[in-house]
């Protein structure tokens, strides 16, 4: 069931809220400093929801935050609500789009800058309970592997993790994602105030309502796809057991009759001979 506008609560993890909050003051810079303190970032320029394209006629992709620091390093920050089983491929895609965008602007491949694609997730995509995952290219089948320095850094942050060390400020941001303010950090408290400010603005609330409707649609689509996959698997298994179509149909109606009509289930059986 969809929420009505009065039930909407703005959260930092909501895409339009995160983008707007990062636009305010030096919030983007401070978040990057919390994620990558070793880089000594002092200043960033950034764009929110900038469309990157290979070609003017192509649709391209839109990072949440695209930032550049005082040394020319590039950062793509993505705050994701829904789990994506193709996360690695998506990261690869973002790297390629960023590089192509820079090359199309007249740059040369030898001048491609240090680039960080950072995904912040509410839950662990790897079930290892680690807070901070960083990946790079390295040699395989070698005891002391060489690193292929592509200047590309893939970082996945798990806001639910308990293993590993992150800065207190980043941990405070993780807690904010889960609607907890467990720190007296002035920056985290400021972010929380700005999230609430977003939620009280009538124009912004309309934007949030549209976003929530799209998110609900994606969740429903994902749920339906999961059920279709389960139906196809059940049909395959029962066919291996030499079950009749009537028996399979009864099993499908018992398990999925609330979500699919008898005719739709019959069609699944017909298509999965």
Per-residue model confidence (pLDDT) at position 6: 53
pLDDT tens, residue order, the chain (273 aa): 444 455 567 888 888 888 889 988 899 999 999 999 999 999 999 876 554 444 444 444 556 788 999 999 999 999 887 777 789 998 998 898 889 888 887 878 898 999 999 999 999 999 999 999 999 898 898 889 999 999 999 999 999 999 999 999 999 999 999 988 877 899 999 999 998 888 777 776 666 666 566 655 555 655 666 677 777 777 777 777 777 888 888 878 887 777 778 888 888 888 777
What whole-number distance in Å separates Cα of residue 66 and Cα of residue 49? 8
Contact, 11 vs 179, CB < 8 A?
Answer: yes
What whole-number distance in Å separates Cα of residue 237 and Cα of residue 96? 40
Per-residue model confidence (pLDDT) at position 72: 94
Per-residue model confidence (pLDDT) at position 59: 44
Per-residue model confidence (pLDDT) at position 54: 42
Q: Can you list the pairs that 176-184 forms with residues at least 24 positions away whose Cβ atoms lie under 8 Å?
A: 176/12, 177/11, 177/12, 177/13, 177/79, 177/120, 177/122, 178/122, 179/11
Per-residue model confidence (pLDDT) at position 58: 44
What whole-number distance in Å separates Cα of residue 182 and Cα of residue 136? 32
Residue linked to tokens 């199309």: 104
Q: Strand, coil or helix: what is 10?
A: coil
Kind plus residue range of the DSSP H or E element containing 177: helix 168-177
Per-residue model confidence (pLDDT) at position 46: 80
Contact, 199 vs 205, CB < 8 A?
Answer: yes
Residue 212 gets the label, from left (phi > 0), alpha (psi -120 to 50) or beta, of alpha
């Amino acid at each position: 069931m969809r929420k009505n506008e009065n039930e909407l609560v703005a959260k930092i993890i909501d895409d339009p809220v995160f983008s707007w909050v990062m636009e305010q003051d030096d919030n983007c810079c401070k978040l990057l400093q919390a994620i990558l303190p070793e880089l000594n970032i002092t200043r960033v320029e950034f764009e929110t929801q900038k469309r990157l394209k290979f070609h003017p006629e192509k649709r391209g992709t839109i990072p949440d935050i695209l930032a550049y620091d005082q040394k020319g390093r590039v950062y793509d920050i993505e705050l994701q609500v829904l789990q994506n089983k193709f996360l690695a491929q998506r990261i690869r895609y973002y790297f390629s789009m960023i590089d192509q965008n820079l090359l199309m602007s007249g740059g040369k491949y030898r001048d491609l800058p240090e680039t960080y694609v950072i995904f912040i997730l509410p839950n662990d995509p790897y079930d290892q309970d680690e807070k901070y995952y960083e990946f790079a290219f390295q040699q395989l089948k070698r005891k002391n592997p060489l690193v292929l320095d592509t200047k590309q850094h893939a970082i996945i942050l798990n806001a639910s993790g308990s293993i590993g060390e992150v800065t207190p400020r980043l941990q405070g941001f993780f807690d904010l994602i889960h609607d907890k303010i467990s720190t007296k950090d002035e920056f985290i408290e400021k972010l929380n105030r700005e999230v609430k400010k977003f939620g009280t603005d009538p124009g912004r609330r309309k934007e949030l309502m549209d976003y929530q409707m799209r998110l609900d649609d994606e969740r429903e689509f994902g749920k339906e796809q999961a059920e279709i996959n389960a139906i196809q698997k059940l049909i395959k298994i029962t066919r291996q057991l030499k079950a009749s179509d009537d028996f399979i149909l009864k099993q499908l109606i018992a398990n999925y009759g609330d979500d699919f009509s008898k005719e739709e289930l019959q069609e699944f059986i017909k298509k999965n001979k």
